[in-house]
């Protein structure tokens, strides 16, 4: 479908994680490497966020959610993945003369995985999941940005995912019950994208109704020792840490208005979805706390810098006067 | 950076304001005044229209929108991996009973959506295809039924074609057509046993249904996607193009019949859809228009302040923000409750097949 005709690319299938001899000799060995959730059910992973990282863009931000499980010394393969996303905002800038009239700000979102972002290599051309993520992100932002204040102009939001959350544990791929293609990791990626783009848009100074943040909640089945299946709701799930995720939900949440601009729920949710959306909003409120702190800090640093610069120039002027006088 | 919504309506701010006001009152008055908030547009449906496909269906709405779906199944080799192969060997002897249970893979179903006027990598077809596919794969049963043996599986190609231009948001129509096509899909009966190369019965009457029907028992059915929109306090199902242009928020809810009880439904996927109302032009009130005796604001900040004060005046302004959480749960409840919208749609589509 989306083949790149201008370059000679590697085969589309990609590569799989290497199979080591020991995993075949000892059947129990592979399972002993399986990571498990060490956080509480309502505990989020730590978030690192920084704004204004790209000087040429009008707004930019970088988000990192490091892997929560302890590194294993037994094997070379990391147990879980971490999430690293950069976002840059270009504009608002006038539309080209050839474009038709638009009464409000035209928002373009581009989400792209870096080729090295996941275990299987991604191509250069955006594939369907990336385009789909772009649509989700656009939906999340459209309701937040007050577009009517910028007629005849456009803004481009470019998101690059440097490392993406996986759909499942690497040891499960290829065997039965494989999570490959289930897209649980994409929900985490979307929530991260929403949070980081929101910070970048605030950095660019585009009028918004509120700061939007993303959050994820999931319902996972954990098999106990007595073969009884326990279903538990978790906030901010790391798909590699759970053998079977039943349903998951990502939301873009406006905390001060108590509104949801984007909801993406998938899996067997049953009849009642309130628990999932509520969990996801709780998780979004958690990341809002980080975004608020970072934006305040950035603002303080900016004004501190301006203050010092103006003071500095004042001093120089005074000195100049002294020199001439 | 061209506008991507081809289905944008050309309504003036005054018309939008009028339409919104009539949809927001209780009871709402829809564009088609004979319809209540839960009524769907009438449609003509038929199945088994394509002789070359394993299952097919065609649905035409009264406004001329028409969709055609063909489902084709092919036998494909399952790639073998060294590590998993060894382990599966051990497990196969343990559980011979539940053949195929938990062995299906997501990549065995492929979905393509073609909408005229859109390239196949445009956002609309991509969004439609991924929502349809994700709801289809949400429950295990379909994937596991595609398992033939350890070396072979069925690969299911679902090709969705919108025959007319996208007059209204086509998601609900495409999903209903896909539902009907999958419901009537037949796979040739398997004659070979276990791990032999698959050999099939050439008698088409012996073919097995992809979604088997058991009399008196509720079996799983393909999912169906229902579009709901919120205007003020009202929730309206199956909105048409003009109604979407004034929506506060739009939700697409994919549901299938519930496994435990005969009534009600369960949700397999929910997505919000960006309402086209965000792109509508804001109205200019008389007080800000010099042609109607008003005074044009002197500065842009003055114009902004005046605009913000307009919120309740009835002059059209594009909606801002999202959906309240209570509204989301209210919509899902209306869809899944027993006797709700989902049950109605699923039973209506099942009735087409019965005759």
Distance (Å, whole) CA A50 – CA A64: 9
Whether the per-residue pLDDT at A33 is higher than 60: the answer is yes
- pLDDT for res A322: 55
The closest CB to that of B84, out of A100, A175, A262, belongs to: A175
Q: Which helix (H) or strand (E) holds A112?
A: strand A106-113
Residue B173 contacts residue B67 (beta carbons within 8 Å) = yes
The residue among B103 and B286 whose pLDDT is bigger is B286
Judge whether A89 and A203 are in contact, CB under 8 Å.
yes
Angle (nearest 5°) at CA A215 between A274 and B225? 50
Mean pLDDT confidence for B319-347: 87
Q: What is the DSSP letter of A175?
A: S
Q: Please list every residue in chain B whose beta carbon sits closer than 8 Å to the beta carbon of residue A281.
A: 325
Over 80: is that where the pLDDT of A270 sits? no
The reported pLDDT for the residue numbered A112 is 93
pLDDT tens, position by position, B217-260 = 667 788 899 999 999 889 999 888 888 889 989 999 998 887 66
Considering CB atoms only, which of B130, B270, B320 is closest to A132?
B130
Q: State whether B83 and A144 contact (CB < 8 Å).
A: no
Over residues B166-188, the pLDDT tens digits come to: 778 888 899 999 999 998 898 89
Q: Write down the mean pLDDT value for chain B.
A: 82
In chain B, what residues touch A133 (CB-CB under 8 Å)? none
What does the pLDDT read at residue B73? Answer: 92
Residue A253 has pLDDT above 90, yes or no: yes
Question: Are B324 and A258 in contact (CB < 8 Å)?
Answer: yes
Q: For residue A176, what pLDDT is reported?
A: 47
- In B230-259, the residues whose Cβ lies within 8 Å of chain A are 249, 251, 258
| A19 φ/ψ angles, rounded to the nearest 5 degrees | -100, 120
Whether pLDDT at A292 is above 90: yes
Q: Give dist(CA A269, CA B270) in Å, integer.
A: 10
β-strand partners of B76: B153
Copy the structure tokens of residue A40. 């509480």
Hey, which residues 258-317 in chain B have their CB within 8 Å of chain A?
A: 258, 264-274, 278-282, 304, 307, 317
B87 at the A interface (CB within 8 A)?
Answer: yes
Interface ipTM: 0.88
pLDDT digits (tens, 9 = 90+) for A207-227: 899 999 999 999 888 765 545
- Which candidate, B191, B190, B192, B188, places its Cα nearest to that of B204? B188
Over pLDDT 90: what percentage of chain B?
17
Report whether pLDDT(A174) > 70. no
Lowest mean pLDDT among A124-133, A196-205, B64-73, B188-197: B188-197
Residue in A209, A252, A273 nearest the CB of B267: A273
Distance CA(A120)–CA(B128), nearest Å, equals 25
Residues A192 and B59: their CA atoms lie apart, in Å, by: 39
Q: What is the mean pLDDT of residues B76-94?
A: 55
- Average confidence (pLDDT) over B55-68: 90
Nearest Cα of chain B lies from the Cα of A55 at a distance, in angstroms, of 24
User: Mean of the pLDDT values across residues A158-186?
Assistant: 75
B contacts of A100 (beta carbons < 8 Å) = 2-3
**E-only strand ranges, chain B:** 43-47, 55-61, 66-77, 109-114, 152-162, 186-187, 208-209, 224-231, 234-237, 249-257, 265-273, 323-324
Q: φ, ψ for residue B252 (rounded to 5)?
A: -110, 120
Residues in chain B with CB shorter than 8 Å from the CB of A180 are: 105-107
pLDDT at position B90 over 70: no
Question: Using the beta-carbon criterion (under 8 Å), do B83 and A24 form an inter-chain contact?
Answer: yes
Task: Quickly count: other Cβ atoms within 10 Å of residue A204's Cβ.
Answer: 21
Q: Is the pLDDT of residue B114 over 70?
A: yes
> How far is residue B6 from each of residues B1, B3, B167, B279, measured CA to CA in Å?
13, 8, 9, 12
Q: What share of chain B is helix, strand, coil (3-state, %, to 5)?
A: 30, 25, 45
- CA of A325 to nearest chain B CA: how many angstroms apart? 44
Asked if B121's CB is within 8 angstroms of A2's CB, the reply is: yes
Inspect the interface and report whether the beta carbons of A265 and B270 lie closer than 8 Å: yes
Dist CA A246 CA A70 (whole Å): 25
Task: Report the residue of chain A nearest B340, measured CA to CA.
Answer: A271
- Confidence (pTM): 0.88
Q: pLDDT band for position A22 (50/70/90)? A: confident
What pLDDT is recorded for position B314?
A: 78
In angstroms, rounded to a whole number, what is the distance separating the alpha carbons of residues A213 and A61? 13
């Amino acid at each position: 479908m989306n083949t790149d005709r201008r370059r000679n690319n590697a085969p589309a299938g990609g590569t799989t994680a290497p199979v080591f001899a020991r995993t075949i000799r000892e059947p129990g060995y592979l399972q002993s490497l399986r990571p498990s959730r060490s956080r509480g059910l309502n505990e989020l992973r730590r978030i690192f966020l920084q704004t204004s990282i790209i000087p040429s863009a009008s707004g930019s931000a970088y988000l990192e959610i490091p892997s929560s499980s302890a590194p294993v010394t037994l094997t070379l393969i990391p147990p879980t993945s971490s999430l690293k996303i950069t976002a840059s905002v270009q504009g608002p800038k006038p539309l080209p003369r050839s474009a038709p009239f638009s009464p409000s700000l035209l928002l373009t979102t581009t989400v792209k995985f870096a080729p090295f972002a996941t275990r299987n290599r991604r191509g250069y051309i955006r594939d369907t999941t990336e385009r789909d993520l772009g649509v989700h992100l656009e939906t999340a932002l459209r309701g937040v940005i007050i577009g009517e204040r910028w007629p005849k102009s456009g803004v481009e939001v470019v998101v690059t995912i440097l490392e993406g959350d996986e759909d499942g544990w690497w040891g499960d791929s290829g065997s039965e019950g494989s999570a490959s293609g289930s897209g649980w990791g994409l929900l985490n990626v979307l929530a991260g994208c929403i949070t980081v783009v929101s910070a970048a848009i605030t950095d660019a100074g585009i009028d918004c109704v509120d700061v939007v943040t993303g959050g994820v909640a999931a319902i996972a089945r954990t098999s106990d020792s007595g073969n009884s299946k326990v279903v538990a709701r978790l906030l901010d799930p790391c798909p590699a840490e759970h053998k079977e995720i039943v349903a998951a939900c990502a939301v873009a949440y406006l905390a001060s208005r108590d509104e949801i601009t984007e909801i993406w729920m998938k899996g067997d949710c049953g009849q009642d979805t309130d628990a999932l959306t509520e969990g996801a909003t709780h998780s979004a409120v958690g990341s809002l706390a980080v975004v608020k702190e970072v934006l305040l800090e950035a603002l303080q640093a900016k004004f501190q810098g301006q203050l010092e610069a103006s003071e500095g120039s004042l001093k120089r002027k005074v000195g100049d006067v002294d020199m001439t006088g | 950076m061209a506008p991507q919504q081809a289905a944008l309506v050309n309504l003036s701010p005054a018309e939008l304001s009028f339409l919104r006001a009539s949809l927001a009152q209780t009871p709402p008055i829809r564009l088609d005044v004979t319809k209540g908030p839960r009524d769907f547009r009438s449609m003509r449906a038929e199945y088994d229209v394509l002789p070359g496909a394993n299952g097919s269906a065609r649905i035409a709405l009264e406004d001329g929108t028409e969709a055609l779906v063909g489902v084709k199944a092919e036998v494909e080799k399952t790639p073998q991996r060294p590590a998993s192969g060894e382990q599966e060997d051990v497990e196969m002897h343990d559980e011979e009973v539940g053949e195929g249970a938990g062995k299906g893979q997501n990549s065995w179903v492929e979905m393509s959506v073609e909408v005229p006027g859109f390239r196949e990598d445009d956002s609309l077809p991509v969004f439609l295809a991924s929502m349809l596919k994700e709801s289809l794969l949400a429950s295990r049963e379909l994937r596991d039924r595609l398992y033939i043996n350890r070396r072979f599986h069925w690969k299911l190609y679902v090709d969705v074609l919108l025959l007319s231009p996208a007059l209204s948001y086509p998601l609900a129509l495409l999903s209903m057509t896909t539902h009907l096509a999958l419901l009537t899909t037949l796979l040739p009966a398997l004659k070979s046993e276990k791990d032999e190369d698959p050999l099939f019965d050439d008698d088409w009457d012996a073919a097995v249904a992809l979604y088997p029907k058991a009399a008196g028992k509720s079996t799983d059915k393909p999912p169906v996607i229902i579009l709901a929109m919120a205007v003020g306090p009202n929730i309206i199902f199956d909105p048409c193009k003009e109604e979407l242009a004034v929506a506060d928020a739009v939700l697409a809810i994919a549901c299938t019949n519930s496994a435990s009880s005969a009534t009600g439904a369960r949700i397999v996927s929910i997505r919000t859809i960006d309402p086209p109302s965000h792109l509508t032009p804001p109205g200019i009130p008389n007080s800000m228009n010099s042609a109607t005796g008003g005074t044009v604001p002197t500065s842009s900040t003055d114009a902004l302040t005046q605009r913000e004060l307009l919120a309740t005046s009835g002059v059209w302004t594009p909606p801002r923000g999202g959906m309240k959480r209570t509204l989301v749960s209210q919509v899902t409840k209306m869809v899944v409750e027993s006797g709700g919208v989902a049950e109605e749609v699923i039973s209506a589509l099942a009735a087409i097949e019965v005759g």
